[in-house]
Amino acid sequence: MSEEHHGADVKFLAGFFIGGLVGALTIFFLGTKEGKKAKILLEKRGKDVVDDLEDEIEVLEQKGKELAKHGEEVKEQVIEKLEDKSEELSELATKKLDSALAHIEEIQEHGRETTASIRKRLFKNLPKKS
């Protein structure tokens, strides 16, 4: 129980100290000439900081827009290059396919000639069907 009581005392003292500090600052800023001057100075500096931040935000927004525009331009260039390469690759693939088909036709023709030659040799003595 003693530890619980000690914890409550510490919390009470911390709250009492913070409350006193806030009260003293309030009295200083609202009740004294120096406090009013400090308040005005802080308000002015705060507004300056806010204005500076707004200016920086505008600059960053502009840079962001420029980057987005540049990104779109780069995207278009990449698309153009890909389309050009696509056409080149299609032409190359067509040529290779045509070449392969021509080679297959040559092999087929050679196979027909070989088959005819084998038939002549093997079946030369057989009578032809009428």
- In the block, tokens 């806010």 appear at 50
DSSP 70-122: HHHHHHHHHHHHHHHHHHHHHHHHHHHHHHHHHHHHHHHHHHHHHHHHHHHHH
What pLDDT score was predicted for residue 59?
A: 92
Q: Model's pTM, two decimal places?
A: 0.41
Q: Name the residue with higher pLDDT: 121 or 99.
A: 99
pLDDT digits (tens, 9 = 90+) for 22-54: 888 877 777 777 777 877 888 888 898 889 999
What pLDDT score was predicted for residue 126?
A: 66
What pLDDT score was predicted for residue 66?
A: 93
pLDDT digits (tens, 9 = 90+) for 51-65: 999 999 999 999 989
pLDDT of 14 over the 60 cut: yes
pLDDT digits (tens, 9 = 90+) for 66-96: 998 998 999 899 888 888 888 888 888 889 9
**Segments making up each domain of the chain, as ranges:** 14-120
